[in-house]
Each structure stands twice: as structure tokens, then as C-alpha cells.
Amino acid sequence: MKRLVREVFRTMAERPAGVDIVVELRRCPPAASRAAARAELSRLLEELAAAPRGD
């Protein structure tokens, strides 16, 4: 899963800047649902990148 998280983060068009991101799994998804896990992680990271920051 570490590799999946790194791959998704590297392929993002707009990365969250100035934040540390910690991904903690409650359980590892089965191999058959890795595509769904990738899509969900991508969605969450894109949402984080688009969120306004209170600098």
C-alpha cells in the first residue's frame, strides 16, 4: 500500500503544498479492490489540494 500511496501522490496534477500527509489504513484492501482504493485515495488527496488553507 505504501507504493500505491506514493504513486497516487506523484501523479497528482496539483499537490497539496506545505502540509504533511499521513495515511493510516484501518485494514488493507484485498488485491481485487486496489483500483477502488486508488480511486478513493486520489479523490481524497485532490479534495485536500483544493481545500482553502488558513495561512
Handedness of CA 21, 26, 9, 52 (dihedral sign): negative
Residue 45 burial by CB count (10 A; 0-12/13-18/19+): exposed, middle or buried? buried
Cβ-proximal residues to 2 (8 Å cutoff; 6+ apart), any chain: none
Whether the pTM exceeds 0.85: the reply is no
Amino acid at 26: R
Provide the pLDDT for residue 47. 87
* Predicted local distance difference test score (pLDDT) of residue 30: 81
- 14-18, 24-28, 35-39: which is most confident: 35-39
pLDDT digits 0-9 by tens, 7-17: 888 888 777 77
DSSP labels for 25-49? Answer: -SSPPPGGGHHHHHHHHHHHHHHHH
Percentage of the chain modeled with pLDDT above 70: 95
